[in-house]
């Protein structure tokens, strides 16, 4: 009788484990069924509200080319320009100038994360960025390019442009060694960034 009791108890335990496994399996199937819908909702929310990070574009290095950089900055063929594409989310060009001081120049293009947006969405993102990303960044309005644009000292110098439902950034920075006499011709930097931004707008 004692052995029979033990067997009966073991059977009960096995039955309980079996029932639990069925319950978990059913729950997993429901979770898997709902997962695509949840991912779609998350993606939709990110597309509408998020601006952090950068959108991936296969043509990112075709929107500003090496030839464009040479033309805008009046660089001869003797100046070596290094192009770098970062996971299709940004494209940068680096070159150096030597003289009394060593100078390294960088131009970088990237787009705000997300797909094409409405004017109201752009305005909301723009206002949010102004109070967060560009707070204390010497933000100033720039005319004559895109639907609206601003310049800030973010990353050494950045032109932010809104055009046809997209927000993109043309960054232009200069590193000088030693760094005391860093070039600070903001107007010239803005003018060059505007020329590059207009090329981007025509090609998007």
The 3-state secondary structure of 102-160, one letter per residue:
EEEEEEEEEEECCCCCCHHHHHHHHHHHHHCCCCCCCCEEECCCCCEEEEECHHHCEEE
User: What Cα–Cα distance (Å) separates residue 20 from each residue in 7, 13, 14, 24?
Assistant: 20, 11, 10, 6
Look up residue 29 and give its two tokens: 């199937």
Global pTM reads 0.72
- Count Cβ atoms below 10 Å from residue 151 Cβ, excluding itself: 24
DSSP-assigned beta bridge partners for residue 97:
103
What pLDDT sits at residue 8? Answer: 52
What pLDDT sits at residue 35? Answer: 41
Task: Kindly report the backbone phi and psi dihedral angles of residue 108, in degrees, each rounded to the nearest multiple of 5, phi listed first.
Answer: -135, 135
Mapped onto helix, strand or coil, the DSSP state of residue 179 is coil
113 closest CA partner among 121, 102, 101: 121
Q: Tens-of-pLDDT digits for all 204 residues of the chain?
A: 444 444 455 444 444 444 444 444 444 444 444 444 433 433 333 344 434 567 788 999 999 999 999 999 999 999 999 999 988 789 999 999 877 678 899 999 999 988 899 999 999 999 999 999 999 999 999 999 999 999 999 999 999 999 999 999 999 998 887 665 555 689 999 999 999 999 999 999
What pLDDT sits at residue 177? Answer: 78
Task: Supply the DSSP symbol for 33.
Answer: H
CB 156 within 8 A of CB 172: yes
What pLDDT sits at residue 164? Answer: 96
Strands (E), the chain: 82-86, 90-98, 102-111, 140-142, 148-152, 158-163, 166-177
Look up residue 148 and give its two tokens: 């609206």
Look up residue 199 and give its two tokens: 């090329």
| Strand pairing report for 140-142 and 148-152 | antiparallel
What pLDDT sits at residue 79? Answer: 95
What pLDDT sits at residue 98? Answer: 75
Residue ranges of domains in the chain: 1-49, 60-203
At the topology level of CATH, where does 60-203 sit?
A: Protein Transport Mog1p; Chain A (3.40.1000)
Task: Kindly report the backbone phi and psi dihedral angles of residue 68, in degrees, each rounded to the nearest multiple of 5, phi listed first.
Answer: -60, -45
């Amino acid at each position: 009788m004692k052995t029979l009791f033990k067997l009966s108890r073991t059977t009960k335990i096995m039955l309980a484990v079996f029932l639990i496994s069925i319950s978990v399996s059913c729950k997993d199937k429901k979770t898997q069924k709902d997962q695509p819908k949840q991912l779609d909702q998350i993606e939709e929310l990110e597309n509408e509200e998020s601006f952090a990070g950068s959108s991936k574009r296969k043509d990112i290095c075709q929107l500003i080319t090496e030839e464009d950089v040479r033309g805008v900055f009046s660089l001869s063929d003797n100046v070596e320009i290094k192009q770098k594409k970062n996971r299709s989310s940004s494209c940068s060009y680096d070159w150096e100038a030597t003289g009394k001081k060593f100078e390294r120049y960088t131009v970088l293009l990237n787009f705000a994360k997300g797909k094409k947006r409405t004017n109201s969405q752009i305005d909301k993102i723009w206002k949010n960025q102004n109070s967060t990303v560009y707070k204390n960044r010497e933000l100033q309005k720039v005319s004559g390019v895109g639907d609206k644009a601003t310049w800030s000292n973010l990353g050494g110098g950045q032109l932010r442009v809104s055009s046809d439902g997209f927000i993109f950034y043309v960054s232009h920075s200069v590193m000088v060694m030693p760094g005391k006499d860093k070039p600070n011709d903001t107007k010239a930097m803005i003018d060059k960034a505007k020329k590059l931004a207009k090329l981007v707008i025509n090609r998007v």
